[in-house]
Amino acid sequence: MAVEGARVLIIDDEDQIRRLLRIALEGHGYRTAEAVSGEDGLREAATFHPDLVLLDLGLPDLDGMAVLRRIREHSSVPVIILTVQEQEEQKIGALDAGADDYLTKPFSTGELLARMRVALRHTAGAKERPVITVGDLSMDLARRSVTAKGGDVKLTPTEYEILKHLAINAGKVLTQRQLLCEIWGKEYERESHYLRVYIGQLRRKIEQDPSRPQYVLTEPGVGYRLVEPEP
């Protein structure tokens, strides 16, 4: 999905926020539609056919989580949650329910645009790429090989699976529960210490300085995100 001309649906009941988002996004080549309530947003999603949805959780009629769940019943369109709430449980719940990312208000336009680009790239077929490159880190999914720090990296099967899930979803937050369920199974969804141990091992193998990771970042209380290191 090319960014230019991508359709973005803004579901937010605050007039000022919608106006600021519309001006910023249209100034960067996006086409926008707006909704002031959950029901309006669902109707717009059905008629506007957005490439991406910006969804406020604090809507006047439907709870934003209910809107997200109803969107996910029939669509895999990227959804970025906008919220004024800092509770980790709410962020985790939104990600587990199918949100692609979240931003806590107030946020910068630059950060929003960056998160949107990641979400749109992801829907453009990142999962189909046989080789995924993030900075100097490269994963060849067909050969099950990894290179980093200028050479081959030997990973255990579990380390490889963790990195593969993070790489396929590069730029996105994956919750601890998502990773535990995908790799160990649903019965391990609360065993976060498993994940911390393997993330530590993985960082020692791919990071220049494991104590100051640049690739595998922790989202405190939520999960992990694979990013491209800043220059």
Q: Residue 231 domain-assigned?
A: no
The neighbour count for residue 127, using CB atoms within 10 Å, is 11
* Residue-level pLDDT at 104: 87
Q: Which long-range contacts (CB under 8 A, 24 or more apart) does 189-198 make?
A: 195/162, 195/224, 198/158, 198/159, 198/162
- Of the three residues 124, 156, 172, the one that is the final residue of a domain is 124
Residues 154-183 have pLDDT tens digits of 999 999 999 999 998 888 899 998 999 888
Residues 144 and 169 grouped into a single domain: yes
Does the structure show a pLDDT above 60 at 1? no
Q: What are phi and psi of 50, to 5 degrees?
A: -70, 155
- Total-model pTM: 0.74
Residues 139 and 205 grouped into a single domain: yes
Residues 70 and 175 grouped into a single domain: no
Question: What confidence tier does 125 reach under pLDDT thresholds 50, 70, 90?
Answer: low
- Of the three residues 124, 155, 190, the one that is the final residue of a domain is 124
Residues 108 and 161 grouped into a single domain: no
CATH number of the domain within which 171 lies: 1.10.10.10
Q: Report the distance separating Cα 49 and Cα 44, nearest Å.
A: 8
* Residue-level pLDDT at 32: 96
Range 105-122 average pLDDT? 87
Residues 168 and 108 grouped into a single domain: no
Position with higher pLDDT, 148 vs 127 = 148
Strand partners, 79: 53
Does the structure show a pLDDT above 90 at 50? yes
Question: What confidence tier does 124 reach under pLDDT thresholds 50, 70, 90?
Answer: low
Q: What is the mean pLDDT of the chain?
A: 89
Residues 101 and 19 grouped into a single domain: yes
CATH number of the domain within which 24 lies: 3.40.50.2300
Q: What percent of the chain has pLDDT over 70?
A: 94
Of 77, 82, 49, 46, nearest to 64 by C-alpha is 82
Residues 117 and 133 grouped into a single domain: no
Of 223, 220, 226, 195, nearest to 96 by C-alpha is 223
How many domains is the chain built from? 2
Structure tokens, 61: 């009629």
Residue matched to tokens 């109707």: 43
* Residue-level pLDDT at 2: 44
Q: Report the distance separating Cα 140 and Cα 178, nearest Å.
A: 23
- Of the three residues 124, 155, 186, the one that is the final residue of a domain is 124
Residues 12 and 77 grouped into a single domain: yes
Contact call for residues 187 and 165 (beta carbons, < 8 A): no
Residue matched to tokens 């007039």: 15
The neighbour count for residue 165, using CB atoms within 10 Å, is 16
* Residue-level pLDDT at 185: 84
* Residue-level pLDDT at 91: 85
* Residue-level pLDDT at 195: 92
* Residue-level pLDDT at 148: 92
β pairing state of 131-134 and 216-219:
unpaired
Residues 202 and 216 grouped into a single domain: yes
